[in-house]
Amino acid sequence: MITPTRALDAHHRRESVWEGRTIASFLHERIVAAPDDLAIVDAQITLTYRELGEAVEALSQSLVRAGVTPGSSVLVQLPNWWETIVVYHAITRVGAVINPVIPIYRRAELAFIVDQSTPAAIVVPEAFRGFDHRAMIDEVLANRPATHTPALVVVRPTSPSAAPWQRFEDLVVPGETALRAPVLDPGSIALLLYTSGTTAAPKGVLHSHETLVYETRSMQRWFSLGSAEHIFMASPVTHITGFLYAYILPAMTGSAVGLLDVWDPGAAADLIERMGCRFTVAATPFLQGLTDEYRRRGHGSALHSFACGGADVPPELVRTASRVLGAEVCRVYGSSEFPTFSCGRVGDSIERRADTDGVAMGDASGHIDGSADVGELVVRGPELFHGYLDASLNDSSFTPDGYFRTGDLASIDADGYVTIRGRIKDIILRNGENISAREIEDLLYEHPDIIDVAVVAVPHARTGERACAAVVSTNNALALSDLQGFLRDAGLATQKWPEDLRLVAELPRTASGKVQKFLLREAFQASG
């Protein structure tokens, strides 16, 4: 049984900041009000809200029969498929906790998560992108004590399914009677999401119905989203972005969501235009890919708003994408723990949308810890998570007055606009001077031969640390001297120039698009 603990909950309820609704209530409302409206589109199928509701009802009954109870967790490692949304709604309907796991995680990560969360059920695809997920789960469970045996569900099986595995399609056959759903407390935990860590083992983030509904409602109001604003979602639905805006937001607004399971800019543009999608939230690689695709096509997109976050967003990309897509592109800042702290506003100048991460959304509050203009951003608000499943991680993650330590360096101007300057660990300490990796990266993104770049600190005997750049380039002959000359012409101080260059085919990233800089540091150190 997973239960919430947090000091500010009583305040949010007393001040009626939270709606007092569960996620399940929105789907029920939509089924009653507009059952024949489009709900989901993916490469395999389209579903109306009536059809979605029927599948959810049947699967809910199957989960209960399999031993899933209120407060227990269900591990879901699925791609952006229509079945994933059905599974999420069914888990919520029975009062259980959704535990999404990104499809790129393998045996080591899954074993850690299963051991810590002890799920009542596990739902995976037979295979995705050539990898056998069912075999992996069998291997993980074979190495665990038999005292805990979760129910096992396989989606889109390509081979016969023997016990204990059950096929998803067999579990969505309508039953004779409706499920008597439990009366849920909106304050109960609805989501256990493991961070796609860039430096350490994943941490289990706990969110309630209240925090998730507040976050999603805030985004809906921020962008004035209604039933006509269909949503495009290429971000993994097992990541906080896809979870919120492919699963909760459509049911809240009555819109449809278009799901893309494997990133392909051409397929993405086709889906956006076919559905007339108006809104999306995604990381920098998705924005870059769509911008390149629509530039090739020679016309703008159906998108009205694109909130880009999850990784560093180069200002020049925001400017170019806004022009090419014909959409209001803005930067958004958040995390699994606090999904949206700040966001650019529709109607803001292109300078504000490109050069800052917007202003605090809704009742969120935050400040720079300490007296410096640039320092660690600490945040709190109604969508702040309830803490980590491993409670030993909480003390170091919060200030005494309940602010979450983001680990990000930021500045906040007189008008309240936030600018993320990088991770605390992204500071390069060279000859006693702090150098921002983000500052160097933003300039290098403007180099005509550079597609992607990450600057990391690497230990150095004489200077303490030095800046090293990993670059994805269209020019295989790009040299360190080319970068240094470009930065010199841009007016950057000599001591900030990278002192080593590595050309790479791609940067290692998490599912949310964040660069795994620790891998790059290791590579630079290994090469001397």
pLDDT digits (tens, 9 = 90+) for 268-302: 999 999 999 999 999 888 999 999 999 999 999 99
What pLDDT, in 10s, does the model give residues 190-213? 999 998 654 456 799 999 999 999
* Separation of alpha carbons 111 and 119, rounded Å: 11
Give the per-residue pLDDT at 147.
Answer: 75
Query: What backbone torsions phi and psi does residue 218 show, to the nearest 5 degrees?
Result: -60, -45
Beta-sheet pairing, 305-308 with 279-282? parallel
Which CATH number applies to 209-423? Answer: 3.40.50.12780
- Name the 3-class secondary structure at 326: coil
Task: Give the residue among 478, 426, 492 at the shortest CA–CA distance from 450.
Answer: 478
Q: What residue spans in the chain does CATH classification 3.40.50.980 cover?
A: 22-208
Angle at CA 244, nearest 5°, toward 330 and 323? 20
Q: What residue spans in the chain does CATH classification 3.30.300.30 cover?
A: 431-526
* Separation of alpha carbons 250 and 229, rounded Å: 9
Q: What is the mean pLDDT of each run of 10 residues along the chain (528 residues)?
A: 56 70 96 97 96 96 95 98 99 98 89 94 97 95 84 94 92 79 89 74 92 98 96 96 98 98 97 98 93 97 95 89 98 96 95 97 93 90 95 92 92 95 80 81 94 91 87 95 94 88 92 83 82
* Separation of alpha carbons 236 and 243, rounded Å: 8
The percentage of the chain sitting over the pLDDT mark of 70, rounded to a whole number, equals 95
* Separation of alpha carbons 412 and 140, rounded Å: 46
What is the number of alpha carbons within 13 Å of residue 418 lying toward its C-beta?
31
CATH superfamily of 431-526: ANL, C-terminal domain (3.30.300.30)
Which residues have a Cβ under 8 Å from the Cβ of 481 and sit 6 or more positions away? none
Q: What residue spans in the chain does CATH classification 3.40.50.12780 cover?
A: 209-423
Domain 22-208 in CATH 3.90.1300.10? The answer is no
- The encoded tokens of residue 288 equal 């870059």
Task: Give the residue among 284, 283, 287, 260 at the shortest CA–CA distance from 272.
Answer: 260
Cα–Cα separations (whole angstroms), residue 102 to 120, 237, 367, 397: 18, 8, 31, 24
Task: Give the residue among 121, 134, 133 at the shortest CA–CA distance from 60.
Answer: 121
